[in-house]
Amino acid sequence: MGWSNEQMAAARALIARHEGLALKPYRDSRGFLTIGRGRCLDTRGISLTEADYLFGNDLEGVLTDLAAQAWWEKLDPVRQVAIADMGFTLGAHGVLAFRRMIAALLAQKWGAAAEEMRNSQWAKEVGQRADDDAAIVLTGTLPK
């Protein structure tokens, strides 16, 4: 492109000033869904690299929140994966609402824990995902 660092910095500063910063999506003056510093999600979307970056950040956040729970470390790594997947849709606070499931996990009552997962509003909303997570909790194995 041939721009100097100074020219790029000036352009970034001016555009950032005019665009502002929105950390949550909003509709711009033309009705386009926009986020950040003027990223039009309706027309441009995000790249695979950006999606993977956001996904990584979101997963780290869920894992950090779950790891703060005393019961988390008592689970084996495979079952942690299933609960992390559940937490990705519900947030850690949503997982904490599954008190009977957590009690069953701690007692290593895998069938009861899986049933608590399957017999929930969350399962109705996510369908096969809940079945997959419940199967992992029940068997202690990841799908191939």
Domain boundaries, the chain: 5-40, 48-139
Query: Span 58-63, mean pLDDT?
Result: 97
Query: Span 100-110, mean pLDDT?
Result: 98
Burial label, 143 (beta-carbon count in 10 A; 0-12, 13-18, 19+): exposed
Torsion of CA 109, 113, 115, 118, to 10 degrees: -160
Task: Check: pTM over 0.95? Answer yes or no.
Answer: no
- 48-139 has which fold? Lysozyme (1.10.530)
